Amino acid sequence: MNFAASKWHESINKEVVLKSIEASCIAFESFKNVSRATRSELLNKIALGIELKRNELRDALISEAKKPYLLSDIEINRAINTFKIASEEVKRFGGDVIPMDTDYSSKDYHPAISQWFPRGPVLAIAPYNFPLNLVAHKVAPALAVGASVIIKPPPQAPKASEILTQIFQAAIRDLKESVDVNVIQVISPTNEDLSIAFDDARITTLSFTGSDSVGWYLKSKNIKKKVILELGGNAAVVICNDADLKRAALRCAIGAFAYAGQVCISVQRIFVEEAVMPQFTELFIEEVKKLKVGDANLKDVVVGPVINLSACTKIMTYIDEAITSGAKLIYGGKNTDLLIEPTVLLNVKNNQKLFREEVFGPVAFINTFKTFDEAINMVNDSRFGLQAGVFTNNQKLVDLAFNKIQTGAVIINDTPTFRADHAPYGGIKESGEGREGVRYTMEEYSERKTLIRWREQ
């Protein structure tokens, strides 16, 4: 039975989830033996299919996720690239040969072979803010290692997953080897009905991107599964006095406010060395004023509406609380329906939600520091640890930042909003565990098996 084209917004229940799991297990048993050549060709064909469906995908991202036209096109480009990267990685992802004669006790054995094998079916749960590329980051590595995947798309934006599934179904038609249509399925049950998949040992891997509270709850319920968590953050940027302030201001404006800040690595906390605080702030506000705010359908809009009223209310509450506690509003701070102005504040206290939590909206604040050690402590004063940015040309400070900042990545002379789809990506502390980035997810989806053979004398 093919569940890939299910109308997931209709009557999905536990029985349907169970049948989907069974179909995924059957698909896995055949797909894990499909050649790397076929898997590589399949991934390339999906990349081509995404390009052919660009207009349809863009419309879905704009209408459902409220992602501006320009940023929707960027997401589509990245998804294409993600599948292309996977098509290349599948040819290199094999294992290791380990010499055994490095010790006298094992010198009579052939070199060992350590090889990657897919764990089993993957359950992929994706968020609304990147409903295509974050799904691609879960699906492409699964196809690359030979694993089946069940996608639970974001309820706010399920259409991209439906289109991606259609692209997959078209891509498997003319392959030299047969690929089960249920290698990719999309279902959208309630959380209660989906719980059957958490309890089912046949689903060996859970990949979740979303809020930290939900992610860690799922981790606690899936102790025996491999769990990859990509969770939230309140990303920080450090601006040193030797920085290229104009570039820093431009990159921080885009990093904080593109897509209304609805990115887990959006710039939220900006720490600026005292000597350059006035100059940076002036340049930053100039760049913020240049950002087009408005209808996501317009090609020049960078800051569109937030996803819903609940999000808007939370963001405005965070702003109001910070101002009431003494922060100074220097730009923005107002909303019209779901459109919130890019908002900049000064001197937010570290006990405020705007400092401690993930705002997930078009809000950033600027605080000052005197010493680089103080700046590092301010960055680390967070339960999150996803990515951080540091603007400096001082190699000593670069080394200190890399060694002392408690995040999964440190970006030098750019903002933490930067991500390369082939590089390892993920957080520490409450920002998650495991790594995405195509090859690194392939490792997460696989387990090593080692062959050691005695050498006959």
CB atoms inside a 10 Å sphere around CB 219: 18
pTM confidence score: 0.95
- Whether the pLDDT of residue 456 is over 90: the answer is no
Write down all domains in the chain, each with its CATH number in brackets: 14-231+432-451 (3.40.605.10), 236-429 (3.40.309.10)
Q: Compute the average pLDDT of residues 395-405.
A: 98
Average pLDDT over residues 99-104: 96
Q: Taking CA 79 as the corner, what is the angle to CA 422 and CA 126, rounded to the nearest 5 degrees?
A: 95
For 47-69, how does the pLDDT look when each residue is reduced to its tens digit (9 = 90+)?
Answer: 999 999 999 999 999 999 999 99
Kindly report the average pLDDT of the chain as a whole number: 96
Q: Give the pLDDT mean for 195-215.
A: 96
Reported as a single tens digit per residue, the pLDDT across 282-334 is 999 999 999 999 999 999 999 999 999 999 999 999 999 999 999 999 999 99
Alpha-carbon span 362 to 331, nearest angstrom: 11
For residue 29, what pLDDT is reported? 98
Phi, psi angles (nearest 5°) of residue 272: -120, 135
- The dihedral through the CA atoms of 406, 247, 372, 353 has a sign that is negative
Quote the pLDDT of residue 4.
40
Question: What are 75-96's pLDDT values in tens digits?
Answer: 999 999 999 999 999 999 999 9
Facing residues of 197 across strands?
none
Confidence label for 5 from pLDDT (cuts 50, 70 and 90): very low
* Region 154-180 average pLDDT: 97
Given a cut of 60, is residue 11 above it in pLDDT? no
**447 given a catalytic annotation:** no
Is residue 251 helix, strand or coil?
Answer: helix
264 is catalytic: yes
The active-site residue out of 41, 264, 430, 436 is 264
CA 385 → CA 152, 312, 407, 410, 426, distances in Å? 26, 25, 4, 10, 9
Of the residues 41, 89, 230, 430, only one is catalytic, namely 230
**What does the DSSP 8-state code read for residue 174?**
T
Question: What number is the average pLDDT over the span 381-390?
Answer: 98
pLDDT band, very low/low/confident/very high, at 1 (cuts 50, 70, 90): very low
Express each pLDDT in 418-454 by its tens digit: 999 999 999 999 999 999 999 999 999 999 999 999 9
What is the CB neighbour count within 10 angstroms for residue 124? Answer: 25
pLDDT confidence of residue 2: 39
Taking alpha carbons only, the member of 253, 416, 442 closest to residue 342 is 253
Band of the pLDDT at 457, cuts 50, 70, 90?
low
